[in-house]
Amino acid sequence: MSEFEYLAVFVSIIFGISVTHILRGTIRSIYRGQIDHTHFVLTAFLFFVLILNWWVGFSWVKQEVWSFDLFIVIVIWSVSHYLAAITLYPPLSAGIEHPFEFRRNWFLWAFFGLGLADIIQAIARGAVFTPRAYLPFVLHYMILSMLAIYIKRPWFYRVIAWYFLMSMLIWSFVVRRFLA
């Protein structure tokens, strides 16, 4: 087993647990009648973020020399995705009618941290400008997350959620495929 394969197994487990957590949370919320429109859109958005970044993790296959600091960067990067997933469907939310609404800022902060971890991972991979729009794209998500934390308006959350989802779909299926 190569060093990349060893690390890929770990990263795949973390990403797989993250996807499982949001799928389980979605089904549980639908069953209980606790999911709202904005929460569902953010769930779809995070699902695509997880799948895209799981795929991006494969780009490390070309790395020939491995070090512990690279290992730590990739571990933190993958764990940051799990933290975003866990804040989207928080555990131990019994007695709270709409757990996500109660802890929305936790998700936004976790997503901000995910963006930071993603940038650090891209720097470590030497791909912070591949494609050229990558860095501004991630930074604008981080800025919008901060705005959503401070602008506490339901309509703003809805707009941000839909914008996040649509821009991620365009980024995943158009920009990365045809413009990179």
Q: Alpha-carbon distance 82 to 119, whole Å? A: 17
Q: Alpha-carbon distance 25 to 88, whole Å? A: 8
**Amino acid at the residue 119:** I
Q: Alpha-carbon distance 139 to 174, whole Å? A: 19
**Two tokens at 38?**
């904005």
Q: Alpha-carbon distance 88 to 108, whole Å? A: 9
- Give the long-range contacts of residues 136-140, CB within 8 A, separation 24 or more: 137/167, 137/171, 137/175, 139/115
**Two tokens at 11?**
């990263």
Q: Is the peptide bond before 90 cis (omega within 30 degrees of 0)?
A: no
Is residue 119 packed enough to be buried (19+ CB in 10 Å), middle (13-18) or exposed (0-12)? middle
The pLDDT assigned to 1 comes to: 80
Vertex 63: Cα angle to 127 and 7 (nearest 5): 105
The pLDDT assigned to 99 comes to: 57
Q: List per-block mean pLDDT (blocks of 10 residues) for the chain, which spans 180 residues.
A: 89 96 92 85 96 91 90 96 93 63 85 97 89 91 95 91 96 77
The pLDDT assigned to 92 comes to: 67
